[in-house]
A and B are shown apart, each in its own frame.
Chain A
């Protein structure tokens, strides 16, 4: 009993220990407005007063524990996701479902940005999705984006970085987007192909004409982006050999049913005249992560100086993720990006160093890492310089007007015009987070017009005006 109580006290101390020497939270209207501008999608009428009454410190604590915030009013505003068909019979059908699902998810995203009470959590879901970006336009990726955001990103944005990293690595969306589902040890793939051919020969079937082309091999795409974008950062100290060895370590990390949709559809086109197309037995709802041992490269590998003995299996990918998640370059890279998001386009080095240290001492506890950023003196001092991205501009415009938005579609069109359509960022870098990218002559004109559309003539010059573009 005593031990438990002491345990609780220690635990409580660990959990609430401030990242930096406690600062006096500013209480003025300006400071609260600043915090609301940076930590939410913009203040609604009355928000500043409300937060002033409860105190900024208490409000930040609340936002860092979003599960405790009642968000039940949001649910009725979210358009329903289309039901995932159990099986599809054509590529077109699968594509149609993917398009619809991503469309609804994008509407939900705008609704959440505007109406969720868990504002900081929504910002962080956006931040981490963008960090681990996947693109709806690439192949079958779109089919898996709703669950990617729901299961791989959202549950971990205030959890451990290693969990977030692991969830993205195993998600069908990422496995598709960065091609890892196809990556295989070339020799293993060849072995498999010849076995298959022998089986077919025994069964009296001739080899398919494109058997040669079906050969699979190593694909570096995921390995490279994992190092460059997800963890170490481009200057994080890795080599081309590391990229190749990481790619080898992840061979065999694939999905439940690795047969590409396109081949099925081709098969369907080649069917004899008059014969009904075969129904595809691909279960869209369930293409879980699978480790295909037969495709894994079991050779010895050296990754960032760590030796992986030959004969390894799925544990090699896990070990790579462990090495990367605890690497100092990762702490610095993540710290830099978070400071850039919340504080300044030119992240102050001293703050980045403190936040990176917090990352390392908490074993990548993102709640504590974020707390270190947003309770820092630098955060409260950095009043100028950050500009709203198009999503922040649009959501904050709706919030400022207090409008009851029932349809997010017009807002999505505006986002498209401004070059930030949700889930449509093609490169793995995600959307940029600096003022120069988003504040351009052409974009300002679009913003002025969107302001008209959202706020009407009365407040268009305020919301389309210079102060409102600042975050």
Chain B
């Protein structure tokens, strides 16, 4: 085969002749031989309605409180997709059912933050910094994970496929936020690029010099490893939506073996205060796109899925009862999905608190029985390489509530 390494090598020769140290290429080659475990974190911004995503159809109150937006029970026409006799997936999430059947999809329900805020902004911030209630935290939990587990200066350990660097990945460890790989290049010729690289390297502002250094290194590595149009695995078709395209970029970076350990992207538009819809309508369209994109990613990763965990999260859930506009207002507990080979799937984890009036948080929301940091922590220690002793560095002030057991031994 026309090996990628040959390409890397000839790329290295070209770089050496231009006076750049080829250390990053050595690193890329090394990463290719020692593939790292991968976490793909996905933020559903706007607070997805977890009760219509993973439907507790065994709860009478669910139907009582949602007269116009409840998802019908599995046996009904266009009903939910049964999982375990009590929970079911939204009918537009069928793309994920094969992963459930293969035990590669697990769900943690009634999961969320101990903080009671119903502000999107605060709740996202708390989840991304993993310090609920503490506003002064500067860095994100995924960045702290990178800080705690390596001294490598490659920004390709942590990549966000977003326009702006998400809070989760902000911090001292170098990371990269990029829209798409193909256009990730400085135009105007090698001369201009070198002049700019030198100018930024000399800047007294560490944010400018650091970001530019990360950018130039990442450009060289990525282009050496993956160029031209990306071709997903046979039969895989990503939705043409922004979310589908973002997951495709993540697959591309993951498969080019440049040392990716943590990837991040977001799915937006979940804040359905008005006309949320049920089996059709706004939430149905969003969940359809969401599920098809996730399923495409899982298939496209191929055997890499055995070293990958895809984790979805959202800042909080939505009130159990629908509001006066056939939508839902901000609530509390929500569901997280975990997909991948290491996951002990085909199970809904977490203690289910029930939806009865006295079981609801403040009489209105799904109560939180699993702190989201217990899920993050388990991903970091059981799937990724964080030592249990270092847990406190990534989740300062957090006392773990016990293992969920979401991962295979």
Within 8 A of B (CB), among A228-272: 228-229, 234-235, 240, 243, 262
A224 with B118: CB separation less than 8 A: yes
Cα separation A436 to B178 with both chains bound (whole Å): 15
Within 8 A of A (CB), among B299-330: 323-327, 329-330
Q: Which residues of B contact A126 (CB under 8 A)?
A: none
Q: Which residues of A contact B393 (CB under 8 A)?
A: none
A445 with B186: CB separation less than 8 A: yes
Q: Which residues of B contact A240 (CB under 8 A)?
A: 118, 362
Q: Which residues of A contact B185 (CB under 8 A)?
A: 445
Q: Which residues of A contact B273 (CB under 8 A)?
A: 179, 219, 221
Q: Which residues of B contact A457 (CB under 8 A)?
A: 188, 192
A213 with B326: CB separation less than 8 A: yes
- Say which residue of A229, A426, A444 sits within 8 Å of B212 (CB atoms): A444
A224 with B212: CB separation less than 8 A: no
Given known contacts A443-B164, A445-B185, A452-B187, A218 and B323 CB-to-CB distance under 8 angstroms: yes
Distance to closest chain A CB from B226 (angstroms): 16
A460 with B192: CB separation less than 8 A: yes
Q: 1/0 contact trace for A198-213 toward B, CB 8 Å?
A: 0000000000000011
Distance to closest chain B CB from A262 (angstroms): 8
Distance to closest chain A CB from B115 (angstroms): 12
Q: Which residues of A contact B211 (CB under 8 A)?
A: 439-441, 443-444
Tell me the nearest residue of chain A to B194, going by C-beta. A461
Q: Which residues of B contact A448 (CB under 8 A)?
A: 186, 188, 193, 196
Within 8 A of A (CB), among B190-225: 192-193, 195-196, 199-200, 202-205, 207-209, 211-212, 214-215, 218-219
A217 with B121: CB separation less than 8 A: no
Question: Quick check: is A371 within 8 A (CB to CB) of the other chain?
Answer: no
Distance to closest chain B CB from A85 (angstroms): 25
Tell me the nearest residue of chain B to A429, going by C-beta. B121
Within 8 A of B (CB), among A448-471: 448-449, 452, 457, 460-461, 464-467, 469-470
B329 with A221: CB separation less than 8 A: yes
Tell me the nearest residue of chain A to B214, going by C-beta. A441
Tell me the nearest residue of chain B to A442, going by C-beta. B178
Q: Which residues of B contact A224 (CB under 8 A)?
A: 118-119, 330
Tell me the nearest residue of chain A to B138, going by C-beta. A436
Distance to closest chain A CB from B199 (angstroms): 5
Q: 1/0 contact trace for B170-182 toward A, CB 8 Å?
A: 1000111111000
- Say which residue of B188, B193, B324 sits within 8 Å of A215 (CB atoms): B324
The count of chain B contact residues (Cβ–Cβ below 8 Å) is 59
Question: Quick check: is B58 within 8 A (CB to CB) of the other chain?
Answer: no
Question: Quick check: is B35 within 8 A (CB to CB) of the other chain?
Answer: no
Helix, strand, loop or mixed for chain B's interface? loop
Question: Quick check: is B165 within 8 A (CB to CB) of the other chain?
Answer: yes
The count of chain A contact residues (Cβ–Cβ below 8 Å) is 58
| Residue among B175, B207, B209 with the highest chain A CB neighbour number at 10 A | B207
- Say which residue of A182, A221, A441, A461 sits within 8 Å of B178 (CB atoms): A441
Cα separation A449 to B135 with both chains bound (whole Å): 35
Q: Which residues of A contact B323 (CB under 8 A)?
A: 217-220
Question: Quick check: is A113 within 8 A (CB to CB) of the other chain?
Answer: no
B188 with A217: CB separation less than 8 A: no
A466 with B208: CB separation less than 8 A: yes
- Say which residue of B121, B215, B330 sits within 8 Å of A444 (CB atoms): B215
Question: Quick check: is B37 within 8 A (CB to CB) of the other chain?
Answer: no
B196 with A465: CB separation less than 8 A: yes
A234 with B121: CB separation less than 8 A: yes
Q: Which residues of A contact B203 (CB under 8 A)?
A: 466-467
Cα separation A441 to B179 with both chains bound (whole Å): 11
Give the segment of A100-108, A183-191, A329-337, A392-400 that binds chain B: A183-191
Within 8 A of B (CB), among A354-388: 384-385, 387
Question: Quick check: is A408 within 8 A (CB to CB) of the other chain?
Answer: no
Question: Quick check: is B388 within 8 A (CB to CB) of the other chain?
Answer: no
Distance to closest chain B CB from A249 (angstroms): 16
Question: Quick check: is B184 within 8 A (CB to CB) of the other chain?
Answer: yes
- Say which residue of A442, A465, A466 sits within 8 Å of B177 (CB atoms): A442
Question: Quick check: is B399 within 8 A (CB to CB) of the other chain?
Answer: no
Cα separation A461 to B45 with both chains bound (whole Å): 37
Cα separation A187 to B203 with both chains bound (whole Å): 63
Q: Which residues of A contact B207 (CB under 8 A)?
A: 387, 435-436, 439
Q: 1/0 contact trace for B338-367 toward A, CB 8 Å?
A: 000000000000000000000000100000
Q: 1/0 contact trace for A129-154 toward B, CB 8 Å?
A: 00000000000000000000000000
Distance to closest chain B CB from A202 (angstroms): 26
A418 with B208: CB separation less than 8 A: no
Cα separation A464 to B329 with both chains bound (whole Å): 44
Cα separation A387 to B325 with both chains bound (whole Å): 42
Q: Which residues of B contact A460 (CB under 8 A)?
A: 188, 192
Question: Quick check: is B132 within 8 A (CB to CB) of the other chain?
Answer: no
Cα separation A114 to B109 with both chains bound (whole Å): 51
Given known contacts A216-B325, A440-B211, A441-B214, A417 and B188 CB-to-CB distance under 8 angstroms: no
Q: Which residues of B contact A437 (CB under 8 A)?
A: 164-165
- Not counting A212-B67, A235-B135, a sample of 6 additional A-B residue pairs whose C-beta atoms are within 8 angstroms of each other reads A218-B324, A427-B121, A441-B218, A442-B165, A466-B205, A467-B203
- What are 26 A-to-B residue pairs whose CB atoms are below 8 Å? A183-B325, A213-B68, A219-B327, A219-B329, A221-B329, A228-B121, A240-B118, A243-B118, A384-B204, A385-B205, A387-B208, A419-B163, A439-B207, A441-B177, A442-B184, A442-B215, A444-B211, A445-B219, A448-B186, A449-B186, A452-B187, A457-B188, A461-B199, A464-B196, A466-B203, A469-B208
A interface with B by C-beta (< 8 Å)? 179, 182-184, 186, 189, 212-213, 215-221, 224, 228-229, 234-235, 240, 243, 262, 384-385, 387, 417-419, 426-429, 432, 435-446, 448-449, 452, 457, 460-461, 464-467, 469-470
B interface with A by C-beta (< 8 Å)? 45-46, 67-68, 117-122, 135, 155, 163-165, 170, 174-179, 184-188, 192-193, 195-196, 199-200, 202-205, 207-209, 211-212, 214-215, 218-219, 268-269, 273-275, 323-327, 329-330, 362
